[in-house]
Amino acid sequence: MTSRDQLQRSDRDLPALAVLALLAQGPRHTYDMHRFMVDTRKDFIVGLPRSLYHAVDRLEKSGLITEAGIEQSAGRPDRVRYAITDAGRADLRRRVALLLATPEPDATLAYAALSFMGVLGLDEAVAALRSRVAAIDLRLARLRGDLAEAHGVPRILLVEAEFEQARLAAERRWTAGLLDELESGALPWPDLAAMPRPGG
């Protein structure tokens, strides 16, 4: 299993993550997925539309998605529709939980995880966010220690560490607030059982 302390390259593949997340809602063709990402400003997906088509190709070869028929419209080319497989659905949940639990300097990974965390169950999301808070606490403790050991070093040489400390502290406050909302029920959670399945 991938360590929550180190994301693999495949875990950082945001176009593939987006394809899996959209197909979890039901079969779609690639152009429809592209339009959805543009219309909903999923700006963390870069390189559109090419990156999306490449992601679909990789996911199909890996057995995480499969063809689900051809969509025909008058005056338009035929378009292949895709559906997520059971393996794809499991991988989607694994990826989202991992990104949600792992604080990274690259904020686009957090944006993606938060954007798609509705694919998880409430308990899974809460557990991942608790792991994130714990990881942030550990990083903050290390930073405080590093800054304390740097006594006597000119502050101008430490401002980047102070910036990281302030950034992590702000992220921790926000994440803890989100956890409070989820655990209290103030933030409604989607009913995964009501989500359409491939072919449904």
Is a pLDDT exceeding 60 seen at residue 195? no
Q: How many domains does the chain have?
A: 2
Residue 21, domain extent? 1-119
Residue 198 within any structural domain of the chain: no
pLDDT for the residue 190: 78
Is a pLDDT exceeding 70 seen at residue 6? no
Residue 61 within any structural domain of the chain: yes
Which of 72, 93, 119 is the last residue before a domain boundary? 119
Q: 116-154: per-residue pLDDT in tens?
A: 999 999 999 999 999 999 999 999 999 999 999 998 999
Which of 76, 94, 119 is the last residue before a domain boundary? 119
* Model confidence, pTM: 0.85
Structure tokens at 67: 């063809």
CATH number at 114 reads: 1.10.10.10
Q: Are residues 106 and 127 in the same domain?
A: no
Say which range, 23-37, 85-99, 128-142, 162-176, has the weakest mean pLDDT: 23-37
Q: Are residues 113 and 178 in the same domain?
A: no
pLDDT for the residue 177: 97
Q: Are residues 45 and 137 in the same domain?
A: no
Structure tokens at 17: 């993550």
Which of 97, 119, 141 is the last residue before a domain boundary? 119
Q: Are residues 18 and 112 in the same domain?
A: yes
